[in-house]
């Protein structure tokens, strides 16, 4: 059990090949005889590092991260029941933790989240309507069509919740899910196929951060793919997208997700229009 109060300077704890950097956090760590290492964050957040491969992941309250020595990588964090975790002998057999009120608050947050969201039922129904028998069996087209039907009738907060649920349900489609969320958020509901950003319908950086955060927290190891797909789909929103990715993964080095910038300004004068090739206007020199 590791507890580091806020404003105490933080601490780094090494368990085998894995290092946990914590501050203002309560973490339960366990090393199995097989070499598998787990970290469960009870409150606050922790940066878990696997220095041998340069992998770093942020783990939030109510999540558990596992290091698999066979794969030699950190697995994506998964949600855990904090109330159940508190029954561990490492916790219940000792005096009450100083951070117990903060842990209790996280437990209440989990209960409110579970009680107030029907997202998985909605997603399953939407995918069924799109022609698939289940989320797992849905083709990428069926899944995204079902998800889009939820996005177009959702507000920004609901859309973020659907992004997180969708990525957890189909991590193989994480980049496409984020692009779909950005696309629907940027256009009018009457013409969701128009990818141009209409006047008065601009998506805010706050909404972008919510979408990117939900996706990355659901599938941290796909962060680069998520950011690359989002920037490619909405290049004018690049700064907001990259800032959101850096904010949601503070364990990474600064500007870890910054894409190379174009040296020349994006000015039509810098580009030469290609020749028009058609039967009415053959290319110079003839065919």
Q: Are 218 and 254 found together in one domain?
A: yes
Mean pLDDT rounded to a whole number for the chain: 79
Domain that holds residue 171: 117-260
Mean pLDDT of 163-175: 93
How many beta carbons lie within 10 A of that of residue 258, not counting itself?
A: 15
Task: Note whether residue 287 is domain-resident.
Answer: no
List the structure tokens of 98: 């100083």
Give residue-wise pLDDT tens across range 54-101: 888 888 889 999 998 999 989 988 889 999 998 888 788 888 888 899
Q: Are 126 and 242 found together in one domain?
A: yes
Residues 6+ apart with CB under 8 A from 185: 151, 156, 159, 203, 207, 211
For residue 250, the model assigns a pLDDT of: 67
Q: Are 220 and 207 found together in one domain?
A: yes
Top-confidence residue, 41 or 283? 41
Task: Note whether residue 230 is domain-resident.
Answer: yes
Q: In whole angstroms, give the CA distance from residue 270 to residue 263.
A: 11
Q: Are 103 and 121 found together in one domain?
A: no
Mean pLDDT of 96-111: 86
How far is C-alpha 270 from the geometric centre of its chain's CA atoms? Answer: 36
In the predicted structure, residue 25 carries a pLDDT above the cut 70: yes
Q: In whole angstroms, give the CA distance from residue 97 to residue 63.
A: 19
Give residue-wise pLDDT tens across range 189-206: 444 344 444 443 468 888
Task: Note whether residue 265 is domain-resident.
Answer: no
In the predicted structure, residue 113 carries a pLDDT above the cut 70: no
The domain boundary residue, chosen from 115, 134, 160: 115
Q: Are 149 and 36 found together in one domain?
A: no
Q: What is the CATH number of the domain that holds 19?
A: 2.60.120.1440
Instruction: Name the domain count of the chain.
Output: 2
For residue 217, the model assigns a pLDDT of: 83
Q: Are 73 and 143 found together in one domain?
A: no
In the predicted structure, residue 163 carries a pLDDT above the cut 90: yes
For residue 221, the model assigns a pLDDT of: 81
Q: In whole angstroms, give the CA distance from residue 27 to residue 115.
A: 25
Q: Are 200 and 244 found together in one domain?
A: yes
Q: In whole angstroms, give the CA distance from residue 81 to residue 59.
A: 15
In the predicted structure, residue 109 carries a pLDDT above the cut 90: no
Q: Are 18 and 133 found together in one domain?
A: no
For residue 189, the model assigns a pLDDT of: 41
Q: Are 177 and 237 found together in one domain?
A: yes
Task: Note whether residue 266 is domain-resident.
Answer: no
The domain boundary residue, chosen from 63, 98, 115: 115
For residue 254, the model assigns a pLDDT of: 36
Q: Are 27 and 110 found together in one domain?
A: yes
Query: What SS3 state is found at 231?
Result: helix
Helix (H) or strand (E) holding 12: strand 11-15
pTM of the model: 0.61
The DSSP code sequence of 64-112 is EEEEETTTTEEPPPEE--HHHHTTSHHHHTSPPPTTHHHHHHHHHHHHH
Task: Note whether residue 271 is domain-resident.
Answer: no
Rounded to whole angstroms, what are the CA distances from 119 to 81, 116, 123, 160, 164? 19, 9, 6, 11, 10
Q: Are 130 and 200 found together in one domain?
A: yes
Q: Are 162 and 143 found together in one domain?
A: yes
Task: Note whether residue 159 is domain-resident.
Answer: yes
Burial (CB count within 10 angstroms: exposed 0-12, middle 13-18, buried 19+), residue 32:
exposed
């Amino acid at each position: 059990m590791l507890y580091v109060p806020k404003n105490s300077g933080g601490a780094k704890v090494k368990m085998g090949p894995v290092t946990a950097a914590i501050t203002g956090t309560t973490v339960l760590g366990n090393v199995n005889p097989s070499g598998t290492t787990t970290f469960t964050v009870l409150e606050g957040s922790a940066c878990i590092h696997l220095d041998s491969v340069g992998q770093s992941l942020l783990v939030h309250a109510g999540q558990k991260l596992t290091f698999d020595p066979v794969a030699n990588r950190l697995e994506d964090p998964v949600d855990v029941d904090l109330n159940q975790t508190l029954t561990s002998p490492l916790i219940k057999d000792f005096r009450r933790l100083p951070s117990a009120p903060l842990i209790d608050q996280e437990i209440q947050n989990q209960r409110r989240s579970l009680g107030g969201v029907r997202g998985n039922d909605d997603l399953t129904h939407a995918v069924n309507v799109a022609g698939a028998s289940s989320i797992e069996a849905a083709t990428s087209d069926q899944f995204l069509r079902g998800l889009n039907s939820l996005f177009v009738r959702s507000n920004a907060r609901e859309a973020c919740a659907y992004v997180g649920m969708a990525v957890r349900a189909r991590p193989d489609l994480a980049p496409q899910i984020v692009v779909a969320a950005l696309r629907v958020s940027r256009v009018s509901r009457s013409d969701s196929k128009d990818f141009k950003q209409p006047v008065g319908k601009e998506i805010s950086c706050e909404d972008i951060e919510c979408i990117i955060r939900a996706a990355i927290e659901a599938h941290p190891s796909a962060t680069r793919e998520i950011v690359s797909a989002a920037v490619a789909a909405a290049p004018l929103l690049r700064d907001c997208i990259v800032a959101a990715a850096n904010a949601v993964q503070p364990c990474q080095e600064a500007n870890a997700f910054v894409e190379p910038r174009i040296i020349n300004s994006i000015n039509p004068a810098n580009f030469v229009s290609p020749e028009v090739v058609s039967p009415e206007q053959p290319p110079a020199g003839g065919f």
